[in-house]
Homo-oligomer: A and B are copies of this chain.
């Protein structure tokens, strides 16, 4: 039976030691006095209990039972409702929410650690609350005071949930094609009609109400993405005093049968003249929805890290216990019939690959969290602006690189088990099935890569990129930093490739999409190199304080630089091959 124990020591290492979060919190007025190292540790310890003891034990039974649909109602698997009730009592849904409406106002740097635990314990369960937290963010940023006052408090509480209604059968990536309509009514509300699909948590039995954020078109809307508006559509209408009123014309037509995250209800949602309320400006709905989408993109990225962490923990345990063959250099467990498989170099390679990528991802997520906190709380306009630009640049990398490499890690974590990894009994195969969706939903990783290269690098003329790489260069230029040479080579490679692509894109627009996925991976490996160098730097300085712990960080950094970073070589060469070979084949000849 798989277990999950939150990697608290590693999280504190990243939070307190690598990023010195408590010092940052102390200098930001909105956070000073609200959170310090002790508060943060107490929250993380509580989060470890909730996720490890309450949610992880429901992960496998949730997969086996799945969410069930009957006559428009969805029931979550046994134990989910009771666990959810306990869970929301902890205030977790509003952990980093706006305190004005009942959120706890905690920094995102802390929330990303919590989200990792949540996905690591039970990804299906995590989604129900991740959608609510993201919907709150969009409501808080774009809705009227009246809507905020009515909807945010019960949502932060977790009594009401949120959903994100974008996709329609014929309109996924291309949201300009949506057909859902919004007709204005005399009372200022709108009548919403249309059908949405792939709606996570569109219906469930956990909460009293579900607040759908729905993209729809007004009667006079321009065609395409510039004609999309955002509406708040409650499952049950809400009276002026906040109490629940009549049912809204919203129904769940069916749920999907999927490869994984089976305990998460993925719904077809029908809106038949449902009452909705405009959020933000007419025809500016996509921008407002992006507030939620950017939140979810980072969150789904973290699903990749959390899944890989649990798969790693189980693979490590198995590799220490499973006896099979002798070490190449001679027997280690002489009193046993064979050695534990962790002695074998290839098993170590698999485990170290998982470990290096998961810990690198955790550091990267924490860095993005730090920038989100600076963008939200900094009182220095320049710092605030820089942080916002970095968040925009790094969000697609976090979403896609965490999940591509998180999937690879879960596949490795299954491979360590041999045949035992393929059967349900040990749970490793579930992580592969569950995490696979993270490369697809919330904007496929191909779309993330286009966003990164096309919009955030090339359309931005490399300005944000230089903000990022200059931080890496500044670190490497300090005296005595580990891996400074390797890091400078890596960042030079990224900058050179970026500049080259800037030129290529002018000649042929296909060059962006031809390079984008490999470019995002190149970017990710270079970013992780920086983070591993930073972690090694701290570990070196602290070595005597906890030799085993810090030596492990140094060894993992060494592995990352010598065995994983070389992947950038191939990525560069494939990118520089350009788009030509993608168009040599006629469409009919595929």
Contact = CB atoms under 8 A, between A and B. Distances in A.
A189 interface: no
A256 interface: yes
B425 A441 contact: no
Contact of A567 (B259, B439, B568, B570): B570
B585 A258 contact: no
A588 B319 CA distance: 11
Interface in A298-343: 316, 319-320, 323-325, 328-329, 337-338, 340, 342-343
Contact of A517 (B349, B414, B424): B349
Contact of A516 (B316, B346, B421, B580): B346
A472 interface: no
A470 interface: no
A263 to B, nearest CB: 15
A329 B566 contact: no
A16 to B, nearest CB: 20
Interface string A576-587: 011111111111
A440 B423 contact: no
Nearest to A570: B570
A363 to B, nearest CB: 18
A256 B421 CA distance: 12
B587 A562 contact: no
A289 interface: no
A320 B548 CA distance: 55
A208 to B, nearest CB: 28
Given A346-B450, A348-B583, A516-B346, A415 B433 contact: no
Interface in A147-206: 167, 170-174, 177, 197-198
B329 A446 contact: no
A569 interface: yes
A111 to B, nearest CB: 27
A352 B582 contact: yes
Interface in A493-520: 508-510, 512-514, 516-517
Contact of A258 (B423, B508, B514, B554): B423
A122 interface: no
B421 A440 contact: yes
Interface in A378-410: 407
Given A556-B585, A558-B584, A579 B345 contact: yes
Contact of A552 (B419, B425, B585): B585
Contacts of A414: 436, 440
Contacts of A177: 324, 337-338
A446 B352 contact: no
A514 B559 CA distance: 12
A589 B548 contact: yes
A320 B419 contact: no
A574 B566 contact: yes
Contact of A316 (B555, B578, B590): B590
Given A325-B174, A351-B590, A418 B440 contact: yes
Contacts of A320: 587, 590
A524 to B, nearest CB: 14
Contact of A570 (B517, B569, B586): B569
A140 interface: no
A551 B586 CA distance: 9
Number of copies: 2
Nearest to A257: B424
Contacts of A481: none
Nearest to A419: B198
A429 interface: yes
Given A257-B424, A423-B256, A582-B352, A551 B338 contact: no
Given A258-B423, A589-B555, A345 B510 contact: yes
A353 B256 CA distance: 29
A316 B571 CA distance: 25
A584 B407 CA distance: 25
B559 A581 contact: yes
B419 A436 contact: no
Contacts of A348: 582-583, 585
A414 B439 CA distance: 11
Contact of A584 (B173, B432, B555, B584): B555
A539 to B, nearest CB: 12
A467 to B, nearest CB: 26
A290 interface: no
A234 B231 CA distance: 68
A433 B430 CA distance: 11
Contacts of A323: 170, 174
Contacts of A582: 345, 348-349, 352, 559
A293 to B, nearest CB: 15
**What are the nearest 10 A-B pairs in CB distance?**
A345-B513, A555-B584, A566-B573, A562-B577, A328-B509, A552-B589, A259-B429, A570-B570, A555-B585, A345-B514
19 contacts: A172-B418, A174-B324, A174-B325, A177-B338, A256-B423, A258-B422, A258-B424, A258-B429, A319-B590, A328-B512, A329-B508, A342-B587, A345-B582, A349-B582, A415-B440, A415-B446, A418-B444, A556-B585, A559-B581
Given A342-B590, A414-B436, 14 more contacts: A174-B338, A177-B324, A198-B419, A259-B429, A343-B587, A345-B582, A346-B450, A349-B514, A418-B440, A419-B441, A555-B589, A556-B585, A559-B581, A564-B574
